[in-house]
Amino acid sequence: MSTEKKEHKEPKQPKAKKEKMPKEAKDSKEHPKENKKDKAEKPHKQKSSENTIQPAINIGLFGHVDHGKTTLTESLSGKWTDTHSEEMKRGITIRLGYANATIYQKEDGTYTTDPNAGGEFVRIISFVDAPGHESLMATMLAGATIIDGALLLIAANEQCPQPQTREHLQALEILGIKKIIIVQNKIDLVDKERLLKNYQQLRDFLKGTAYENAPVIPISAMHKVNIDALLGAFEETFPTPSRDETLDPRMFIARSFDINKPGSLIEKMKGGVLGGSLIQGSLKVGDEVEIRPGYFVEERNQKVHKPLFTKILGLMTGNTPLQVVKPGGSIAVLTDLDPSIVKSDVLTGAVVGLPGKLPTVLYDLDLEVHLLERVVGSKEELVVEQIKLQEPLMLNVNSAVTVGVVFKLAKNSVQCKLKVPVCCDVGSRVTISRRIGNRFRLIGYGIIKNVKK
């Protein structure tokens, strides 16, 4: 509903401006002392120019369940990302959530996300809110593949580290996320002594990892305490990366859904929407694109993929429509696909690109394996055992999640037959999880060496 209101209001503003603009422009030139109108119009002018700007960077929020990831996302962006009925019912994040925030720098050098604070526009950031529950590790790993930097939230009122704090940190290291900020949340719930004890625990936890010297920012997401310091840390820690827009476009799909309401008239229905992140190149409205692996059919008692081809009808970031998108931030792509093909995240893990320019779809993977010494995510300190024949492994590559059954073993190498094929390059990094008890636990990673079709 909020999206429809915004879209309805925006056309009205230019009309009002069009009628008064010539007179106001003359008044401002002839009577420079009259500053009230100028001041009132400045935020509007700034805001309209920002609406054409795409987010510069993707930041993921990770950490143990109930450590405040979704609350912090709301404090930064004004959007509550848990919108699925089951998420509201259970009070936890289940699917990846997305929100954009615009950062401004005030005259005193501090940062804010308040457009009415009189600050100068800096950039727009996309946030990816990942679930923290142990049963949703696959979703967290999918979210971590489309980010440029990460926030690891640690609750000051709990012992550090919690199981998923350890697991998420290890996953970020495996996936090659180089820059993170540690957010010490819920400082309003503890006294100074407890806060300092928690700080020492998290510093001891980080010792020996790639993030030993990561900045630690104490905040209260609920009461928006110290958010300005966190925004300042964003600017110091997460510079906008340089992107190569000359490469063939490639987008990882993290969500796919039907935006039509029940009972919509056929002539008013819109095509399926793909949500995710553009990794390289650029896409524009009107482009013909291919989606792999696509949809699946049975041929000779075997499931095989058939690529999908569609046309881009619209592009969005947040509530802002765009004609062209480039790498950086989360985007939504409106297509002419039948909504039934994309509903309920059916195409999550697929890759979008120009026809004939995407990597091969792989049904088997030959992995160079790197196992961890100990299992992460479980309360017990378990040693990682060697991978066995016929063992099912959960594999995450790009934004795709699949299960591979081991059919061949060699030294530091395994070959897996995939339950669901994936579209990826040779040399891609794959996280490996094993079922321990009733959960899949992260045990290492692999590099795709070569493939069998």
pLDDT in tens, the chain (453 residues): 333 333 444 444 444 444 444 433 444 334 443 443 343 333 333 343 455 588 889 898 888 878 888 889 888 888 765 444 443 443 444 456 778 889 999 999 999 999 888 899 999 998 888 764 544 556 666 666 778 899 999 999 999 988 888 888 888 888 888 999 999 999 999 999 999 999 999 999 999 999 999 999 999 999 999 999 999 999 999 998 888 888 999 999 988 989 999 889 988 999 999 998 898 999 999 999 999 999 888 877 777 889 999 999 999 987 889 999 999 888 899 999 999 999 888 999 999 999 999 999 999 999 999 998 888 766 677 888 999 999 999 998 888 889 999 999 998 899 999 999 999 999 988 889 898 888 888 888 899 996 544
Q: What are phi and psi of 409, to 5 degrees?
A: -120, 145
- The per-residue pLDDT for 32 is 40
Q: What is the location of CATH 3.40.50.300 in the chain?
A: 57-237
Give the chain's end-to-end CA distance (angstroms, integer): 46
Specify the CATH class of 57-237 in words: alpha beta
- The per-residue pLDDT for 442 is 85
DSSP reduced 3-state for 249: coil
**Alpha carbon distance 304, 294 (integer Å):** 10
Are the C-beta atoms of 186 and 218 separated by less than 8 Å? no
- The per-residue pLDDT for 365 is 94
Are the C-beta atoms of 164 and 63 separated by less than 8 Å? yes
- The per-residue pLDDT for 93 is 43
- The per-residue pLDDT for 269 is 92
Q: Alpha carbon of 440 to those of 136, 366, 376, 396: distances in Å?
A: 9, 21, 10, 12
- The per-residue pLDDT for 5 is 38
Selection from 170, 167, 156 nearest residue 201 by Cα? 156
The superfamily (CATH) of domain 361-452 is: Translation factors (2.40.30.10)
Find where tokens 């848990």 sit: 82
Q: What is the location of CATH 2.40.30.10 in the chain?
A: 250-353, 361-452
**Alpha carbon distance 298, 304 (integer Å):** 6
Selection from 273, 450, 449, 444 nearest residue 352 by Cα? 273
- The per-residue pLDDT for 273 is 94
The superfamily (CATH) of domain 250-353 is: Translation factors (2.40.30.10)
